[in-house]
Structure 1
Amino acid sequence: MRTIIIEDEKPSARRLNRLLQAIGVEVSVMLHSVEESIAWFEQNEHPDLIFLDIQLSDGLSFEIFDKIDIQSFVIFTTAYDEYALQAFKLNSVDYLLKPIDDEDLKKAVDKYQSLQPKTNKLTLDFEEVKKLLVNPLEREYKKRFTARVGQHLKIINATDVECFYSENKGTYAATLDGRNYLLDTTLENLETELSPEIFFRVSRKFFVNVDHVKDIVSYTNSRLQIKLNRFSEAEIIVSRERVQDFKLWLQ
């Protein structure tokens, strides 16, 4: 498949290119600005797949689509927070939050390959996504969850959750009273349901509540270990790729 990257940060573009090469995807060209991309599309056959950064050095990448009728599938690569993720889910093959994780990248490419034989173009509502990015509306995040306990439903306030975590294909809420409740959801769903001011996904397995962090300790390989007030069933490690974003989030 013919693939291009549109990304203004050249180190990020090179890293994404290396990750794609590792899973057998060859990138034909890397573009770095709105102006350069428009000129390229005017003179070249459109690729099968575009990895598209949102914020480029000379404007939002949606300006490309104002000028060019893109005939390609799109996977967003973005550093934008959770408020826009639902729009990405609805309007693209997939989205990848920076820093891009290699397993998430492979899943996105696999998703594209499963869709590609069924249609030769994905219809995108770029105006809807752009509206959310430029003028994000105040979002209401989930304030409570329910968990089945025997014949009863337990109401769990989000503020009482120290962390959400996945284990053996289940998703759990660890609460201040030291209990762990099995929820009928996934960590992927929680990405758009939890307030990004309170919860941060430190790894593929954990979301942590900043209000219940007791200590943060340096860990091996430039990672961090988080200690919560009550939760002790497993080590909570901030993956190396997310350490910088986690530190910025804490400020």
Structure 2
Amino acid sequence: MNVIIVEDEKPSARRLQRMLEKLDIKADALLHSVEESLEWFQKNPHPDLIFLDIQLSDGLSFEIFETLDIKSAVIFTTAYDEYALQAFKLNSIDYLLKPIDEDELVKAVAKYQERIPQKQSVNIDFNDIKKLLVNPIDREYKKRFSVKVGQHIKLVNIDEVECFYSENKGTYLHTADGRNYLLDTTLEQLADELEPRLFFRISRKYFVNINAIKDMVSYTNSRLQIKLDTYKADDVIVARERVKDFKEWLG
């Protein structure tokens, strides 16, 4: 299998490269920009599979495909706001949300390998994806959640929620009055329902509300520890791969 990685953050690219090596897959090239990728594709045979980040240092990686006719299969590796994931699903495109989980990587590679004997191809509609990236204002997002309290059903407005988190295979919301409620959903499903200008997924465990952030502290390995108004936990930490996007999200 011929594989390349297109990722502008070099530590993230090297981390993915090491994870692939554990699966006995060697990346033939690590590319870090649209310009570098275009030059490489013009000089080299196209690979079987591309691990592709969306936002590169000099533009969207879609420009590569709009300029050149590339038939390679694509697995997106994205730390982009999660409303974009709906387009990936609509187009049957595999994606890995950064920071990449090793188990999810194994599943994505296995899914690609299952397609090879059937020669199944994926038609990527980049226009659909770009519309969601550029025009999120057209989306309708969740304004309230219904939670069960004993035998009663309680409505929680979205502006009351400080964070969403996963724990012991359950998904919870934490409110500004210090209460926690179990939800009948997953963080992955919430990714399509939360207003991206209000909530950011800082790690595989947490979405945080920008209005509930009380303090941010430098943490080990170039990460950030988040202090919320009432939610008290030491592991509310921005994953290293998400720090750059988190700071941009803060504006």
TM-score normalised by the shorter chain: which range applies? 0.7 to 0.9
Asked if 2 retains the 8 angstrom alpha-carbon contact of 1:75 and 1:92, the reply is: no
Q: Which residue of 1 aligns with 2:71?
A: 71
**Per-residue deviation, 1:37:** 4.9
Q: 1:155 to 1:215 in 2, by over 3 A?
A: same
**Per-residue deviation, 1:24:** 2.5
Give the whole-Å Cα distance in 2 for the aligned partners of 1:224 and 1:6.
25
Q: Which residue of 2 aligns with 1:227?
A: 227
Q: Which residue of 2 aligns with 1:138?
A: 138
SS of structure 2 residue aligned to 1:192: coil
Q: Which amino acid aligns with 2:213?
A: V
**Per-residue deviation, 1:112:** 2.8
Give the whole-Å Cα distance in 1 for the aligned partners of 2:137 and 2:226.
32
Matches within 5 A, 1:208-219: 208-219=208-219
Give the whole-Å Cα distance in 1 for the aligned partners of 2:128 and 2:17.
29
Q: Which moved more, 1:69-78 or 1:55-64?
A: 55-64
**Identity fraction in percent:** 65
SS of structure 2 residue aligned to 1:230: coil
Give the whole-Å Cα distance in 1 for the aligned partners of 2:122 and 2:7.
21
Give the whole-Å Cα distance in 2 for the aligned partners of 1:29 and 1:240.
23
**Per-residue deviation, 1:241:** 3.1
Q: Which residue of 2 aligns with 1:39?
A: 42
1:146-200 per-residue CA deviation (whole Å, 9 max, x = no partner) reads 1233333221111111111111111011112322111111111112211222212
Q: Which residue of 2 aligns with 1:19?
A: 19
Q: Which residue of 2 aligns with 1:156?
A: 156
Q: 1:184 to 1:234 in 2, by over 3 A?
A: farther
Give the whole-Å Cα distance in 2 for the aligned partners of 1:146 and 1:188.
18
Asked if 2 retains the 8 angstrom alpha-carbon contact of 1:72 and 1:122, the reply is: no
Asked if 2 retains the 8 angstrom alpha-carbon contact of 1:86 and 1:192, the reply is: yes
Structure 2 gap segments, 5+ residues each: none
Asked if 1 retains the 8 angstrom alpha-carbon contact of 2:217 and 2:225, the reply is: yes
Q: Which amino acid aligns with 1:18?
A: R
Give the whole-Å Cα distance in 1 for the aligned partners of 2:186 and 2:200.
15
Between Structure 1 and Structure 2, how many residues are aligned?
248
Q: Which residue of 1 aligns with 2:178?
A: 178
Q: 1:51 to 1:231 in 2, by over 3 A?
A: same
Structure 1 gap segments, 5+ residues each: none
SS of structure 2 residue aligned to 1:71: coil
Q: 1:53 to 1:160 in 2, by over 3 A?
A: same
Q: Which residue of 1 aligns with 2:246?
A: 246
Give the whole-Å Cα distance in 1 for the aligned partners of 2:99 and 2:61.
19
Asked if 2 retains the 8 angstrom alpha-carbon contact of 1:91 and 1:126, the reply is: no
SS of structure 1 residue aligned to 2:75: strand
**Per-residue deviation, 1:75:** 1.0
Give the whole-Å Cα distance in 2 for the aligned partners of 1:215 and 1:59.
32
Q: Which residue of 2 aligns with 1:29?
A: 29
Give the whole-Å Cα distance in 1 for the aligned partners of 2:234 and 2:12.
32
**Per-residue deviation, 1:14:** 4.2
Asked if 1 retains the 8 angstrom alpha-carbon contact of 2:80 and 2:245, the reply is: no
Q: Which residue of 2 aligns with 1:53?
A: 53
Asked if 1 retains the 8 angstrom alpha-carbon contact of 2:165 and 2:206, the reply is: yes
Q: Which residue of 1 aligns with 2:198?
A: 198
Q: Which moved more, 1:203-212 or 1:78-87?
A: 78-87
Q: 1:166 to 1:117 in 2, by over 3 A?
A: farther
